[in-house]
Amino acid sequence: MQRKSVDFWVGLFVVAGVAALMFLALRAGNMSTLSFSKTYEITAQFDNIGSLKPQAAVKASGVVVGRVSRIVFDDKSYKAAVTMDMEEGYKFPKDSSAKILTSGLLGEQYIGIEAGGDEANLKGGDKIARTQSAAVLEDLINQFIYSKAADGKDAN
């Protein structure tokens, strides 16, 4: 009887450990917020996507309204084409804009949607025309350094 009790508790501990590892794997892969609701697909092209990854959130006013499903390089326009799966319940005007934002100073990147004022809404297969690329920290630092260097030359 003692042996069966120990086996039960060891098995329970192993199952709890596997469940914890699965939870951590889903969180690390940003897959813990999978949604099975109906979606429609829209695309947008960006000059620079920074470190945006598939499964990144698409947010409007801080609310997750979709997920990035695919990122490919368009060799005709030399831009990154980002495909987003938007939840069917959220509709946006055709003249909406998309920009790549960062949560926090060095946090995860996501796409922010700003609604426009058009009467017609985006539907499956549509493309967002107005986009703003990611702000790359290295580029901002370089601009700051070069502007300070230019100010120093003007003072002499």
Reported as a single tens digit per residue, the pLDDT across 12-31 is 899 999 998 888 877 666 55
The answer to whether residues 60 and 115 touch, using CB atoms and an 8 Å cutoff, is yes
pTM value is: 0.69
- Its domain, for residue 22, covers 1-32
Indicate the burial class of 87 (C-beta count within 10 angstroms; 0-12, 13-18, 19 or more). Answer: middle
Spans in the chain with pLDDT lower than 50: 32
Plot region of 137 (φ>0 → left; ψ -120 to 50 → alpha; else → beta): alpha
pLDDT number for residue 1? 61
**Do residue 123 and residue 104 come from a single domain?**
yes
CA distance 133 to 101: 9
* Residue 109 DSSP SS3: strand
pLDDT number for residue 154? 59
**Do residue 59 and residue 22 come from a single domain?**
no
pLDDT number for residue 155? 56
pLDDT number for residue 104? 75
Q: Which two tokens stand for residue 81?
A: 């084409």
The answer to whether residues 58 and 82 touch, using CB atoms and an 8 Å cutoff, is no
pLDDT number for residue 134? 81
**Do residue 114 and residue 88 come from a single domain?**
yes
The answer to whether residues 80 and 49 touch, using CB atoms and an 8 Å cutoff, is yes
**Do residue 74 and residue 22 come from a single domain?**
no
pLDDT number for residue 153? 67
**Do residue 10 and residue 57 come from a single domain?**
no
pLDDT number for residue 148? 77
